Amino acid sequence: MNALTRWFHQLGSPPTFDRFAARWSRVFYVAAVPVLLIGLWQGLFVVPAEQKQLDAFRILYIHVPSAWMSLFVFALMALYSAIALIWRIKICEILAMACAPMGAGFTLITLLTGSIWGKGTWGTWWDWDPRMTSELVLLFLYLGVIGLYHAIEDRRSAARAAGLLAIVGVSLLPVIRYSVDWWGGLHQRQSINMFGDNAVRGQLIAPLWWMVVATKLWFAGSLLAKARADNLAREAGKAWVAERFATGPAGEIPR
Amino acid sequence: MTHLPYLIGAFSVFVLVLVADALGSWLRLRNARQLALRRQERLRARDTAPATAPLATELSR
């Protein structure tokens, strides 16, 4: 077994994961803050106003990365759930369920900022357009996964049931992605491509990439912190937790 | 800057959700740590408690 495979196997063990998550969640959060600040500063104050939308287009610097994250996080949650269901890896169950709150958060940001942007440019807060409606259904799916996970008392059964919902729900992602091409509607077609040509001027793109990286880093920090909390709650009676939480003379709780 | 109220509203939503998420993660972690610590203390107390319970008497009745 090579070193990388062994490391992955070790990471599946709760104590190793706890040490890993404790260190890296902080690293990701700390790395996200300056990247986020650069993205926000550039998006709000450096790039010039767009010709047609004027300053309202600046909302897209938070709307677009959040929309991408809402889809990416759901796909990741379904992937972790599939691994957990097939190979019964407990850490993957925990990671899948830790994806849901931040995924719901990104979906909420997408819907609210899209609504605010729509009011400024289209003159309406909401329209039952295919893209907007399917994104709203995605939010309900996230809430369904979170609700199902907390409705069943046994943690492993709960994670399996909620994971199954996530796997079924992943079929919504292509619908959201291609809804504008299939059914049209008020929402504009994709104007920014990660690997292809962009309809947006190059000068206006840079803050978007900063925000894309920042949201990814923030999510990684959030995912590891939540997974660590769930892992500790499940393993509370185990010997490794006793060693990890051996109190000092002042009764201080180690981090 | 045009559309200022919309910009303030949208960026506030973004920051609020991110801060709420970070705060939620921190609270969950703190709660899990405290629960784990209390459970470990209970287990330690049970292990070190003197065996004074009249178990034998109960069984002999």
Q: Which of A29, A54, A233 sits opposite B3 (nearest CB)?
A: A54
φ, ψ of residue B2 in degrees (nearest 5): -85, 165
CA B37 to chain centre: 10
Q: What are the structural domain ranges in chain A?
A: 26-43+58-188+201-231
* Residue A79: pLDDT band with limits 50, 70, 90: very high
ipTM of the complex: 0.88
pTM: 0.88
Tens digits of residue pLDDT in A80-134: 999 999 988 899 999 999 999 999 999 999 999 999 999 888 888 998 989 999 9
Tens digits of residue pLDDT in A164-209: 999 999 999 999 988 888 887 777 777 766 666 666 677 788 899 9
| Structure tokens given for B29 | 């972690």
Tens digits of residue pLDDT in A28-64: 999 999 999 999 999 999 988 887 788 888 999 999 9
- pLDDT mean across residues, chain B: 83
pLDDT of residue A249: 45
Closest among A109, A139, A115, A107 to A187, alpha carbons compared: A115
User: What average pLDDT score do residues B4-33 get?
Assistant: 93
For residues A149 and A158, the answer to whether their CB atoms sit within 8 Å is yes
| Residue A34: CB atoms within 10 Å | 12
What sign has the CA pseudo-torsion A75, A77, A80, A84? negative
pLDDT of residue A23: 93
Tokens 């399917």 found at: A134
The CA distance from A134 to A157, in Å, is 28
* Residue B1: pLDDT over 80: no
Chain A CA closest to residue B21: A102
pLDDT of residue A208: 92
Which region, left, alpha or beta, applies to residue A123 given φ > 0 means left and ψ of -120 to 50 means alpha?
left
pLDDT of residue A251: 44
* Residue A69: pLDDT band with limits 50, 70, 90: very high
* Residue A250: pLDDT band with limits 50, 70, 90: very low
The CA distance from A63 to A57, in Å, is 10
* Burial class of residue A89, CB neighbours in 10 A (0-12, 13-18, 19+): middle
Distance from CA of B59 to the nearest CA of A (A): 30
For chain A, the distance separating the N- and C-terminal CA atoms, rounded to the nearest angstrom, is 33
Chosen from A59, A63, A139, A216 to mutate, greatest number of chain B CBs within 10 A: A59
**C-alpha distances in Å from residue A158, one per residue of A60, A85, A151, A232:** 36, 12, 7, 17
Distance from CA of A190 to the nearest CA of B (A): 21
Tell me which chain A residues have a C-beta less than 8 angstroms from the C-beta of B17: 105-106, 108-109
Closest among A133, A136, A126, A116 to A60, alpha carbons compared: A116
Query: Which range, A8-12, A86-90, B35-39, is most confident?
Result: A86-90
What sign has the CA pseudo-torsion A149, A232, A79, A224? positive
Distance from CA of A182 to the nearest CA of B (A): 29
Selected residues 144-183 of chain A with any CB under 8 Å from a CB in chain B: none
**How much of chain A is in helix, strand and coil states, percent to nearest 5?**
75, 0, 25
Tell me which chain A residues have a C-beta less than 8 angstroms from the C-beta of B22: 29, 221-222
pLDDT of residue A179: 87
Q: Do A233 and B35 touch (CB under 8 A)?
A: yes
